[in-house]
């Protein structure tokens, strides 16, 4: 039986890890390699690195950071941020990434998911969706959750799966940074529409939120969080032991 | 020295890094001389069977691999590299494998609701003693990504994982070993498996 995954996410800018609150007010936390080793040792099932740098110089620093992490940490690594065409997939896969997450790049060019899946395999392509309640539906936002796109998030997830995405990261802008739990409602809407794994993101404030996600959630495969892990508010090993004691299958 | 066969399939960065991190002298090569000189050979692989098989043939390494395996050199196939150890694969047609271990590779036929690919961390159920699993306990988790699996190889199956059906996880026949999962992505458990292989290889010097 596959284990439910607990995934720390590290936003990287100029070679350093930062964490936003509602995507703004970035704050430097720590060294990516040191954090990656720490998370590996504490039982993280996977690591996600988001490159939030826009500059060419920052991109180079990110590549160096990623290479350093991938040569020392031997669990699956997902990379996102600034992925707009196949050369970006190539760039991060060469540095040791296992999966590549595309967000705004797929909104600008929806064909990228299919082309990447064909070239690198479905398992390699993650469609990352930032979505927010607008009226009676969920709308996709681009550019780090700032720009409304008019696209329906459930439709977008379904289309991503058809194109060949191997996995979806669903980040709820409504719950992100608020620390009151994952957006189970939004998650349910997306999980009902697709059969590929869905990773819940945004809103984890304590260990119990992961238990709620896996017990009451509609089949989410993984929970992703950043600040609660970075600031030591939740210890991953203790979190997984707690999940296991409630019968959630986790890798201990 | 452990030779990692380079035949233009997939990214060898993690595998080589993980071998070096456990102190192994890993060399990426398709040269006959290096493969002959190696204490052990690792055949990695991701992607489609037919394409990988064609590339392995084209690399010129296949003849040496077969000779070295017949001489008893420790050999480890990983993921698609494991699938190539069998007689044949039914991935988009019928394709001949290396035939080192009896068995064949078939698409998943899973109970309803199970997703393909089989991707993620799954526990190992050990069915037979094997030196490759010296550092592995019953129930330890390893990381899988695959859409086809090996069958008909029960006599040589060392460990399986439960995914609605028993999925062949580790196989061994004499000096030939295979893991369907990626030890280089399976954390400390995976590193222990690579360590065990290096030990087997160096023991045969």
Q: What is the ipTM of this complex?
A: 0.90
Give residue-wise pLDDT tens across range A158-170.
Answer: 999 999 999 999 9
Among B130, B138, B132, B187, CA closest to B161: B138
Q: Which two tokens stand for residue B142?
A: 């390893």
- Indicate yes or no: CB of A1 within 8 angstroms of CB of B190: no
B117 touches chain A (CB under 8 A): yes
Give residue-wise pLDDT tens across range B71-113.
Answer: 999 999 999 999 999 999 999 999 999 999 999 999 999 988 7
pLDDT at A25 (0 to 100): 39
pLDDT at A21 (0 to 100): 42
Q: Which residue of A has its CA nearest to B188?
A: A74
Q: Answer whether residue A232 shows pLDDT above 90.
A: no
List residues of B with catalytic annotation. 79, 182, 184
- Indicate yes or no: CB of B123 within 8 angstroms of CB of A1: yes
**What is the DSSP code string of B68-97?**
HHHHT--EEEETHHHHTTSSEE-SSS-EE-
Percent of chain A scoring above 70 in pLDDT: 94
CATH 3.30.390.30 at A5-245, yes or no: no
Q: Answer whether residue A24 shows pLDDT above 50.
A: no
- Residue A85 CA neighbour count, 13 Å, CB half: 1
Residues of B in contact with A69 (CB under 8 A): none
How far away is chain B from the Cα of A98, in angstroms, using its nearest Cα? 9
B115 touches chain A (CB under 8 A): yes
B23 touches chain A (CB under 8 A): no
pLDDT at A19 (0 to 100): 62
CB A217 within 8 A of CB A249: no
Q: What's the rounded Cα separation, in Å, for the pair B37 and B42?
A: 13
In the predicted model, what is the mean pLDDT of residues B122-145?
97
User: Which residue ranges form the domains of chain B, and what is each CATH number?
Assistant: 2-203 (3.40.50.880)
pLDDT at A20 (0 to 100): 46
| b/e A84-111 (16+ beta carbons within 10 angstroms → b) | eeeebbebbbebbbbbbbbbbbbbeeee
Q: Tell me how far the alpha carbon of residue A80 is from its chain's centroid.
A: 8
Residues 133-172 of B with CB under 8 A from A: 141, 143, 145, 162-163
- Indicate yes or no: CB of B120 within 8 angstroms of CB of A5: yes
Average pLDDT, chain B: 95
Q: What's the rounded Cα separation, in Å, for the pair A94 and A214?
A: 34
pLDDT at A83 (0 to 100): 94
Q: What's the rounded Cα separation, in Å, for the pair A182 and A202?
A: 6
How far away is chain A from the Cα of B183, in angstroms, using its nearest Cα? 9
Domain locations along chain A: 5-245
pLDDT at B145 (0 to 100): 93
pLDDT at B139 (0 to 100): 97
In the predicted model, what is the mean pLDDT of residues B146-167?
97
Q: Answer whether residue A218 shows pLDDT above 80.
A: no
pLDDT at B45 (0 to 100): 86
In the predicted model, what is the mean pLDDT of residues A86-109?
93
Q: What's the rounded Cα separation, in Å, for the pair A201 and A203?
A: 7
Which one is predicted more confidently, A15 or A160?
A: A160
Q: Which residue of B has its CA nearest to A39?
A: B187
Residues of B in contact with A76 (CB under 8 A): 143, 185
How far away is chain B from the Cα of A1, in angstroms, using its nearest Cα? 5
- Residue A59 CA neighbour count, 13 Å, CB half: 10
**Helix, strand or coil, per DSSP, at residue B156:** helix
How far away is chain A from the Cα of B60, in angstroms, using its nearest Cα? 24
Q: Answer whether residue A29 shows pLDDT above 60.
A: no
Chain A positions touching chain B (beta carbons under 8 Å): 1-3, 5, 40, 45, 70-72, 74-76, 93-96, 98, 121-123, 166-167, 195-197, 221, 251
Residues of A in contact with B44 (CB under 8 A): none
Give residue-wise pLDDT tens across range A31-82.
Answer: 788 888 889 989 999 999 989 886 777 888 899 999 999 999 999 999 999 9
Backbone torsions φ then ψ of A92, nearest 5 degrees: -85, -30
Q: Answer whether residue A101 shows pLDDT above 70.
A: yes
| Pick from A5, A96, A221: CB nearest B13 | A96
B181 touches chain A (CB under 8 A): no
Q: Answer whether residue A22 shows pLDDT above 50.
A: no
pLDDT at A11 (0 to 100): 87
Residues of B in contact with A197 (CB under 8 A): 115, 119-120
Chain A / chain B CB contacts < 8 angstroms: 71
Q: Which two tokens stand for residue B74?
A: 């420790």
Q: Which residue of B has its CA nearest to A196?
A: B115
Q: Report long-range pairs for A211-215 (Cβ below 8 Å, ≥24 apart).
A: A211/A242, A211/A243, A211/A246, A211/A248, A212/A181, A212/A182, A212/A184, A213/A181, A213/A182, A213/A184, A213/A187, A214/A4, A214/A243, A214/A248, A215/A246, A215/A248
pLDDT at A5 (0 to 100): 97
pLDDT at A58 (0 to 100): 80
Q: Which residue of A has its CA nearest to B17?
A: A71
Give residue-wise pLDDT tens across range A140-188.
Answer: 999 888 899 999 999 999 999 999 999 999 999 999 989 999 999 999 9
Please confirm, yes or no, whether A11 is among the known catalytic residues.
yes
- Indicate yes or no: CB of A5 within 8 angstroms of CB of B143: no
How far away is chain A from the Cα of B111, in angstroms, using its nearest Cα? 13
């Amino acid at each position: 039986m596959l284990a439910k995954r607990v995934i720390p996410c590290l936003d990287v800018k100029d070679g350093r890890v930062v964490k936003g609150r509602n995507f703004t007010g970035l704050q430097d936390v720590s060294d990516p390699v040191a954090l990656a080793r720490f998370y590996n040792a504490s039982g993280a099932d996977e690591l996600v690195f988001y490159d939030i740098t826009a500059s060419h110089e920052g991109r180079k620093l990110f590549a160096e950071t990623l290479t350093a992490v991938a040569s020392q940490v031997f669990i699956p690594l997902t990379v996102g941020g600034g992925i707009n065409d196949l050369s970006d997939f190539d760039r991060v896969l060469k540095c040791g990434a296992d999966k590549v997450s595309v967000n705004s790049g797929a909104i600008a060019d929806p064909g990228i998911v299919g082309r990447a899946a064909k070239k690198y395999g479905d398992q390699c392509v993650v469609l990352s969706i930032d979505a927010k309640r607008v009226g009676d539906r969920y709308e996709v936002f681009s550019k780090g959750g700032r720009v409304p796109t008019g696209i329906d998030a459930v439709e977008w997830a379904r289309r991503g799966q058809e194109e060949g995405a191997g996995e979806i990261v669903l980040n709820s802008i409504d719950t992100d940074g608020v620390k009151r739990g994952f957006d189970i409602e939004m998650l349910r809407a997306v999980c009902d529409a697709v059969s590929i794994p869905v990773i819940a993101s945004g809103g984890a404030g304590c260990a119990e939120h992961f238990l709620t996600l896996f017990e009451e959630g509609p089949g989410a495969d993984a929970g992703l969080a950043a600040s609660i892990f970075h600031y030591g508010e939740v210890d991953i090993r203790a979190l997984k032991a707690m999940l296991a004691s409630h019968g959630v299958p986790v890798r201990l | 020295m452990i030779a990692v066969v380079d035949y233009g399939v997939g990214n060898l960065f993690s595998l080589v890094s993980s071998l070096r991190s456990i102190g192994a002298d890993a060399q990426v090569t398709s040269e006959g001389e290096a493969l002959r000189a190696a204490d052990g050979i690792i055949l990695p692989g991701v992607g489609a069977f037919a394409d990988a098989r064609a590339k392995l043939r084209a690399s010129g390494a296949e003849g040496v691999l077969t000779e070295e395996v017949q001489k008893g050199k420790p050999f480890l196939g990983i993921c698609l590299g494991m699938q190539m150890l069998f007689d044949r694969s039914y991935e988009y047609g019928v394709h001949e494998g290396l035939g080192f271990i009896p068995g064949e590779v078939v698409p998943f036929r899973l109970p309803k609701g199970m997703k393909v690919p089989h991707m993620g961390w799954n526990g190992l159920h050990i069915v037979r003693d094997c030196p490759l699993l010296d550092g592995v306990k019953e129930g330890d988790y390893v990381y899988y990504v695959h859409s086809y699996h090996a069958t008909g190889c029960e006599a040589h199956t060392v460990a399986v994982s439960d995914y609605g059906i028993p999925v062949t996880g580790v196989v061994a026949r004499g000096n030939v070993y295979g893991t369907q999962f990626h030890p280089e992505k399976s954390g400390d458990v995976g590193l222990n498996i690579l360590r065990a292989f290096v030990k087997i290889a160096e023991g045969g010097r």
